[in-house]
Structure 1
Amino acid sequence: MDAALSSCIDRIRAAAAAGTPLRLRGGGSKDFYGERLAGQVLDTTGLAGIRSYEPSELVVTVGAGTRLADLEAVLAQQGQCLPFEPPHFGPGATVGGMVATGLSGPARASVGAVRDYVLGLSLVNGRGELLSFGGQVMKNVAGYDVSRLMAGALGTLGLIVEVSLKVLPVAPAEATLAFELSQAQALARLNAWGGQPLPLNASCWVGEAGAGTLFLRLRGAVAAVDAACRALGGERQDDGQARQVWAGCREQQLPWFAPRAGLDLWRLSVPQTAPVLELPDVPLIEWHGGLRWVTAPTGEAERLRHTAAQAGGHATLFRAAGAAAVRRFHPPTPPLDRIHRELKRQFDPAGLFNPGRLFPEF
């Protein structure tokens, strides 16, 4: 056991004995996400480093405190990547924070989410015990997959120590096409294309009430991408400019995401086939129609959640313009609430880790 891990375990055991809540924090790039921040800070950046990397096996095991940019640089040297494109939201983003928030980028609808690439992990629970789950290959994952349960838990169940991730080769070819379309036209095109054998990877529609631009990214074999470009039409974008568009989309640096006084940023997750929704403002649409970003005053929270639920989805207050006056996450149903509480009781019986971060009640 290295010194950094031993120090963290000692700190957790002391906190458990004293009943002192702990706030698990890596680079802090996603402090804005979730409910309140509470507890004494337990810095996880000491849990850094690549433990093992087998490019031929497409698996890497890495310390949770490792900077996400450092991991991506090592993978790029081998022509590999994290295909779900996790957002950084700051230079200090860590692998542990990536898993804890469970946030994925533009390609999520085509390639899967963070949790789909977690093969195994080790963590320290609220009793100060070091536990390991899963492994380094998919076939090791059987029964209740605890390792993937940590994706999106916001550190409320334990301190992630290290993670084994599945990685993939960078696609041989990539192209971005742009189409001038209204929101309804863009959704109709995306639904039609989704039923065809096309190398769709990501989409982003941004516009105004009556018009807008749909950016469509294709990735795959050279022949497949070239054939799709000929079949779909649109205006092929310069590769450098296209990379800026997708990076801006992933990191919320496009002009559309510029903060506006008094307006919160909401994320509506809905079926890809959902039609144009009645929203307070024109949304930015990703994930082939499955993700609708919208800005709205806090007073619109109930309306947004009702609209998302009616479409078969849910709404999350992603970034609050000020002190949030409503819940960040859609309240869980009674059965899910019971599951959350029982998991919390098993992993963190004293309620040490990130209290109130996922749900205000615990």
Structure 2
Amino acid sequence: MSFPPHETPGELIDRVRAAAAAHAPLHIAGGRTKAFYGEAVAGDTLSTTSWSGIVSYEPTELVVTVRAGTPLAELEAVLAERGQCFPFEPPHFGPGGTVGGMVAAGLAGPARASAGAVRDYVLGARFINGRGELLTFGGQVMKNVAGYDVSRVLAGSLGTLGVITEVSLKVLPVAPAEATLVFALGQHEALEQVHRWGGQPLPVNASRWTADRLTVRLRGAVAAVEAACERLAREAGGTRLDPAQAGRDWADARDQRLPFFEAPAADLGLWRLSVPQTAPVLDLPWAPLIEWQGAQRWLWAPAGAAGQIRAATAAVNGHATLFRAGADGAPGVPRFHPAATAIQTITQRLRAEFDPAGIFTPGRMG
């Protein structure tokens, strides 16, 4: 397997230095498949798509280092050839998504609750700060950091700290066995059941509930998956799905192609509620889709209901994000839940350190 030589992204550095000198904002973009996420931003587009390619891949060490503009689908295909994957199932939201966008957005798919988040798989990163300096943090092993782990802070930063140019990621082998079961359960009963199963030594990998239908995916050793299938079916009356159909359904859930994710009305926005897994059924009038064993809940509601939705999630120590705005763009409604004062202080200090001129996607995170 051949890889591009280790080079310096000179063109990207020059663009950043020129923008910093002119105090001109830059909108960092890859495949733009997640352009809807976060507040609207202004500025010239700084595309990373030309800076692509796998720098190194050590299947036996479970580590891959890749340039930010590399198409995510291309990298996943290379990993699949070696029977490996990103266990957190990063959503694509389209064919042009890049590895840099995956890290910058910090979004994970159905297996997030059991497999971990994007940041848990970031070992190291190179990025260009607001002074046009190419910085390196972390490395290619799990225990490589003394002090603040900046490389993982980049996950979910939406390009506000710098231009990611290269990232080293941990990968894992594909599970030997997988099975998906469906149960006819109401929301309260479904949450109780996944919490009960989650507290037991079962290979529960992902769950999804909507419209009185609970879907559970098992992954792990063949014997463990088969034994769990028999037990879950016996305890809750589930039926096993055809593997091919189940695979398509989970991919559609990951990329929000399920019927639930079709906007029921143009004036409604898609809200993402992040709550503790054990949070009860929320007192909200909109029908949800629930993932991550109860920790992630989606619903379609008007932007004007922001106060009601955020109050309900805050009451259970959660927060709510307007993930996709309605047709009007939800003017005046912050996309992200107001952060705690301590988090705001840390965020401001990080931005001041890495982007003193404030040129990177200003306003994207509010």
TM-score normalized with structure 2 length? 0.95
Structure 2: how far apart are the matches of 1:132 and 1:4?
Answer: 12
Give the distance between the partners of 2:53 and 2:285, measured in 1 at CA: 45
The answer to whether the 8 A contact 2:190-2:209 is kept is yes
5 Å matches for 1:237-276?
237-260=241-264, 261-276=266-281
SS of the counterpart of 1:139? coil
2:89 equivalent among 77, 80, 85: 85
Query: Following TM superposition, by how much is the alpha carbon of 1:2 offset from its aligned partner in structure 2, in angstroms?
Result: 7.1
SS in structure 1 at match of 2:361 = coil
Q: Is the 8 Å Cα contact of residues 175 and 237 (structure 1) preserved in structure 2?
A: yes
Q: What whole-Å deviation, never above 9, does each CA across 1:304-359 have from its counterpart, x for those lacking one? A: 00000001110000000131220011111222111111111000000010010012
Q: Are the counterparts in 1 of residues 263 and 300 from structure 2 also a CA contact under 8 Å?
A: no
AA in 1 matched with 2:348? R
Tell me if 1:223 matches 2:223: yes
The aligned residue for residue 57 of structure 1 is: 61
Q: Which runs of 5+ in 1 are unaligned?
A: none
Is the partner of 1:295 in helix, strand or coil? strand
Structure 2 counterpart of 1:353, from 337, 360, 364: 360
Aligned-partner residue type, residue 316 of structure 2 = A
Whether the 8 Å contact between 1:268 and 1:292 is mirrored in structure 2 is yes
Task: Give the distance between the partners of 1:158 and 1:125, measured in 2 at CA.
Answer: 5
Q: Which among 153, 159, 162 is matched to residue 155 of structure 1?
A: 159
Write the distance in 2 (CA, Å) between the matches of 1:2 and 1:222: 41
Across the aligned residues of Structure 1 and Structure 2, the Cα RMSD in angstroms comes to 1.1
Please state if 1:280 is matched with 2:285: yes
Secondary structure (helix, strand or coil) at the match of 2:143 reads helix
TM-aligned CA deviation for residue 142 of structure 1: 2.8
Q: What amino acid is aligned across from residue 299 of structure 1 in structure 2?
A: G
> Do the aligned residues in 2 keep the contact of 1:284 with 1:294 (CA within 8 Å)?
yes
Residue number in structure 2 paired with 1:333: 340
Letter in 1 for 2:217: R
1:146-183 CA-to-partner distances (Å, cap 9, x unmatched) read 00000000000000000000000000000000000000
Letter in 1 for 2:224: A
Matched residue type, 1:138: M
CA shift, 1:36, in A, is 1.2
Residue matched to 1:72: 76
Residues 280 and 296 in structure 1, CA contact (< 8 A), matched pair in contact too: no
Retained in 1: the 8 A contact 2:6–2:55? no
Mapped to 2, the partners of 1:232 and 1:318 lie a distance apart of 33
Report the alpha carbon displacement of residue 3 of structure 1 after superposing the two structures with TM: 7.5
Q: Deviations over 1:78-122 (max 9, x none)?
A: 000000000010111000000001000000000100000000000
Q: How many Å separate the matches in 2 of 1:334 and 1:196? A: 37
Aligned residue among 71, 80, 97 for 2:101: 97
Look up the SS of the partner of 1:23 in the other structure. Answer: strand
Verify the 8 A CA contact 1:268 1:313 in the aligned structure 2: yes
- Trace 1:1-362 onto structure 2 (pairs within 5 A): 5-207=9-211, 212-233=212-233, 234-260=238-264, 261-321=266-326, 322-325=328-331, 326-359=333-366
182-191 vs 322-331, which deviates more?
A: 322-331
- The amino acid of 1:323's aligned partner reads G
Residues 139 and 4 (structure 1), Cα distance of their counterparts in 2 relative to 1, 3 Å cut: closer
* Change in CA separation of 1:63 and 1:107 when aligned onto 2, cut-off 3 Å: same
CA–CA separation in structure 1 for the residues paired with 2:130 and 2:250: 39
Aligned equivalents of 1:280, 1:13: Cα separation in 2: 50
The alpha-carbon deviation at position 223 of structure 1 amounts to 0.4
Could you say if the C-alpha distance between residues 219 and 2 of structure 1 is closer, same or farther in structure 2, counting changes exceeding 3 Å? closer
- Structure 1 distance, partners of 2:7, 2:123, is 25
Query: How far does the alpha carbon of each residue in 1:194-250 deviate from its partner, in whole angstroms, 9 at most, with x for none?
Result: 11100010000010xxxx110000000000000000111010000011011101110
TM-score, normalisation: structure 1: 0.97
2:13, 2:76 → 1: CA distance?
28
How far apart are the structure 2 equivalents of 1:115 and 1:190?
25
Quick one: distance in 2 between partners of 1:42 and 1:196?
48
